[in-house]
Every structure is written in C-alpha cells, then in structure tokens.
C-alpha cells in the first residue's frame, strides 16, 4: 500500500537469498554490513545490482538509487495493476488482502492523481505555516524537557523517546491538522498503531488492529473535516475541505491524505531525534561539541539523516522494459531502493561509516527519497530535529546514555524504541 510498507512486503517476499538477509534479526539490528555487501556486489567489475530469487532487484549505490527515484519510467504501483508483491507473497499469504486496511494516499499513487493530491497538501508546508510549527515545536520541547530534566533529577534518568522524541512530532502534526489538544493522546495511539504497517503487515491479528485504528482515526478526521467545511481555518484539513467542496478531491482522498500526514510525520521524526542523540553520544567528543555550540544542531540533523536514516528503504516498479545499472528489468518488476545504503556510498561520501558533525555535505543524502515522492514534510522534519537537539543541548549539556537502548527490530523504519539518558 505505502511505498515503504510495500517495500517491507517486497522484502518479505524475497525468501532465502541475499536480499532477504535484510530481514533476519541480527541484520535488522545492524543492516549496514548487508548494505555494504550488496553495494560491493553491485560495483565490482562485471557485477551489477543483486537480484533476489523472485526477481526483485536491490539498489545500493547513490547513483543508481537516485536515478530510479527520478526516472518517470518507474512508479509506486505496477503499471499492469498486477500483484504488488509477486507470486511467492501471494502464495504465503503476505499479499494484498492483508494490506487492505491502509490507504496511504500519495505514497501509493502515481501521476496524475499523485500530482493533484500533492498540490493540495503543499500549502501546509508554506513558510508562514512552518514559522507557526516552529513556535509550537519550541514551546512543546521546552515543556517536555522541563518535565524530563526534573524526572532525571528525581529518578536519575529519563527516556529520550518516551519523554521527547515521541510526543514532539505528535504535537506538531496536531498543529498541522489543528486537532484539538484533548484528542492528542488518541491521535498518538492510532498513529503509532498505523505506523507499524510501514514494515508490512505481520498477521491477520495485526491487520485487524490496523483496521480498528484506521476506522477510529478516520471517524475523528471525518468529524474535523465536516467542522472545517462549516468553519474553515488555516490548517491543512480546511484546505482539503475546500478542495472536496470544489470537486478537487473526494472525501476518501482527503481523509487518506490527512491520515498519511500523521503516519508519515510521526515515527519517522521520532527516529530522527533518537538516532541523532544515539550517534552524538556514541561518537567521542560529539555531544560535547554540540553542547558547546548548540548552533550545530542543524548540522547534526543532516549528518544523522545521512548516517542513520529513519526510513531505510523504499520500492518502485518499472513501467516498461528497461535497464538499471547495466541489468535488464522487465515491465512491472520491483526494485528495492536502499536509501540508507546509498547514504554510505564511498563514491559520494568519503569515509561513509564515520558519523561526523563537521562533515562537508558535498553530496545530498537520500533520506527523504527523491523525484516526485520526495518527502513533503522534509522542511518540517528538519525544523523539529533542529529544535529538539538545540534545546536538549542547551538544557542538558552533560547528557549521557544511562542504560541499554531498546532498538526497533524492523526493515523500513530504524530508530530506538527506548533510549534511557541522564541529564
């Protein structure tokens, strides 16, 4: 359904070969050696992109990933409308029917529908709106950290994810959709449930949980949409309500788009903040450097996006017979675009496995993807990451890790589920 989730589904479908190693638990904890292996196979003389047994091709260099993302001959759905997951997935039950509960709008649409709907959401990220979200992010980060630092004093530590990285994006998306504060908690619960779908649907029970969350969220958003039709404001739901009335979108399309903003903007940003603090803490001298100059927060965000991106991969389908990095691809075959592997490509990023706050960003990373699906929320994600790290460095300059992080064991999303720290 969703680029990323479909990517999870695709990965599940490859069964038993080199690409499938990305799914095995130890590699999901640290996938970077697998990416390096796939990249080495792709770039060695006479080599090429690694193809899994059922024909999915994994791309692990910056050049090939970027080329596919920008190439209009690829789409997020098969051109022929066939099974997205390939034969094996259908046989093993990982296929379409289990994925039905979620319609993730832009991520699953090709032009022209994609173009029309993306345009509707664009005003939510205009400079004036971003200035408003910055005010919200700064206020909320301050409040969250007041409580977290106080907890650190009494309990000796706090959880960076639970106490900052998770609630901050929810507060900002609530501002984006103008969701009343009283609904924040339910909003977060549904967002978290739906976010698990980014890594594929695990079982019928999981599919039912997703369907329940989707129904509840949808009814809340439908209520808000009705209210904005009667009394519009400046938020994105008001813009969607206007579009529905002007025949620019159906109610279903508007609701799916609003739901996507929650799912795409929530745990991705949580992971960004968690991965940044983890990398800054684990790399000698880096936290101290940020504490001495909190103005480095934006650079820390950028290097985290390159070094340990919250969204590790996405997927595309060839819409005609073509060639990728020297290998032929048949129409409708799937490609795994390994964004995190591209970000460690030594051809583009010297000494790529080193986290370096002072790195010259010579080449852009692919953490926000590329081409027509380039992350719509990128300016907002950067803003939230910058505010969170800057205020954290100001309020907790001696921050240290204080226990074992709990990693998320997943293929698409990457970041700690819990990160104990002491101020």
Q: Does the protein bind ligand HEM through residue 314 (CB under 6 A)?
A: yes
Is residue 306 near ligand HEM by the rule CB under 6 A?
no
SS3 204: helix
User: How open is the CA angle 98-81-119, to the nearest 5 degrees?
Assistant: 90
Q: Which stretch binds ligand HEM (CB under 6 A): 19-27, 94-102, 243-251, 268-276?
A: 268-276
Q: Binding ligand HEM by CB under 6 A: which of 260, 279, 391, 421? A: 260
Q: Which of 2, 414, 16, 423 is nearest to 201 (CA)?
A: 2
Q: In what order do the strands lie in the sheet with 420-422?
A: 158-159, 420-422, 400-401
Provide the CA 421 distance to its chain's centre, in angstroms.
Answer: 24
Cα–Cα dist 32/21, whole Å: 12
Cβ proximity to ligand HEM, 194 vs 423, nearer residue: 194
Beta carbon of residue 239, minimum distance to ligand HEM (angstroms, whole number): 14
In the bound state with ligand HEM, the residue whose beta carbon lies nearer, of 23 and 315, is 315
Instruction: Give the residue from 55, 18, 53 showing the smallest Cα distance to 38.
Output: 18
- Distance CA(145)–CA(398), nearest Å, equals 14
Rounded least distance, CB 269 to ligand HEM, Å: 5
Find the binding residues for ligand HEM in span 105-144 (CB under 6 A): 106-107, 118
Cβ(338)–Cβ(60) below 8 Å: yes
* Residue 80 CB partners (closer than 8 Å, separation 6+): 331, 332
Least spacing, CB of residue 382 vs ligand HEM, in Å: 8
Shortest separation between residue 291's beta carbon and ligand HEM, angstroms: 22
State the residue number with the nearest CB to ligand HEM: 377
Q: Which residues of 67-92 are buried (b: 16+ CB within 10 A; e: fewer)?
A: bbbeeeebbbbbeeeeebbbebbeee
Count of residues interacting with ligand HEM (CB under 6 A): 27
Nearer to ligand HEM, 269 or 278 (CB): 269
Q: Which is nearer to ligand HEM, 164 or 423 (CB)?
A: 164
Establish if 414 lies at the interface with ligand HEM (CB under 6 A): no
Least distance between ligand HEM and beta carbon 40 (Å): 24
Q: Is 269 in the site for ligand HEM (CB under 6 A)?
A: yes
Residue 57 DSSP symbol? E
Q: Interface with ligand HEM includes 368 (CB under 6 A)?
A: yes
Task: Quote the DSSP letter at residue 45.
Answer: T
Kindly identify the residues of this chain, within the stretch 182-241, that bind ligand HEM according to CB under 6 A.
none
- Closest approach, Cβ 106 to ligand HEM, in A, equals 4
Binding-site ranges for ligand HEM (CB under 6 A): 3-4, 106-107, 118, 173, 176, 260-261, 264-265, 268-269, 272, 309-311, 314, 367-369, 373, 375-377, 380-381
């Amino acid at each position: 359904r969703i680029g990323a989730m479909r990517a999870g589904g695709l990965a599940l479908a490859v069964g038993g070969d080199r690409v499938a190693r990305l799914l095995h638990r130890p590699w999901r904890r640290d996938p970077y050696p697998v990416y390096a292996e796939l990249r080495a196979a792709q770039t060695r003389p006479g080599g090429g992109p690694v193809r899994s047994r059922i024909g999915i091709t994994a791309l692990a260099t910056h050049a090939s990933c970027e080329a596919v993302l920008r190439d209009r001959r690829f789409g997020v759905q098969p051109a022929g409308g066939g099974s997205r997951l390939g034969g094996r997935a259908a046989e093993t039950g990982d296929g379409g029917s289990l994925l039905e509960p979620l319609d993730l709008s832009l991520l699953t649409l090709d032009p022209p529908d994609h173009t029309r709907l993306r345009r509707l959401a664009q005003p939510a990220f205009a400079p004036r709106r971003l200035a408003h979200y910055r005010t919200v992010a700064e206020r909320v980060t301050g409040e969250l950290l007041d409580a977290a630092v106080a907890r650190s004093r009494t309990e000796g530590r706090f959880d960076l994810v639970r106490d900052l990285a998770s609630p901050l994006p929810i507060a900002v998306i609530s501002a984006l959709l103008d969701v009343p504060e009283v609904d924040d908690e339910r909003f977060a619960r549904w967002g978290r449930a739906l976010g698990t779908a980014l890594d594929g649907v695990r079982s019928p029970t999981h599919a039912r949980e997703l369907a329940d969350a989707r129904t509840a969220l949808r009814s809340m958003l439908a209520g808000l949409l009705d209210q904005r039709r009667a009394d519009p404001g400046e938020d994105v739901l008001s813009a969607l309500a206007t579009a529905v009335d002007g025949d620019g979108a159906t109610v279903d399309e508007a609701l799916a788009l609003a739901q996507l903003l929650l799912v795409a903007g929530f745990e991705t940003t949580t992971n960004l903040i968690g991965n940044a603090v983890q990398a800054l803490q684990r790399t000698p001298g880096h936290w101290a450097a940020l504490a001495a100059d909190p103005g480095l927060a934006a650079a820390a965000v950028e290097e985290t996006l390159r070094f340990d991106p919250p969204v590790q991969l996405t997927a595309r389908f060839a819409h005609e017979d073509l060639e990728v990095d020297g290998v032929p691809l048949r129409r409708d075959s799937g490609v795994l675009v390994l964004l995190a592997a591209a970000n460690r490509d030594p051809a583009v990023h010297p000494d790529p496995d080193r986290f370096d706050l002072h790195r010259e960003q010579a080449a852009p990373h692919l953490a926000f993807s590329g081409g027509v699906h380039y992350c719509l929320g990128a300016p907002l994600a950067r803003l939230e990451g910058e505010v969170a790290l800057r205020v954290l460095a100001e309020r907790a300059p001696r921050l240290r890790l204080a226990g074992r992080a709990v990693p998320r064991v997943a293929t698409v999303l990457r970041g700690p589920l819990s990160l104990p720290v002491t101020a």
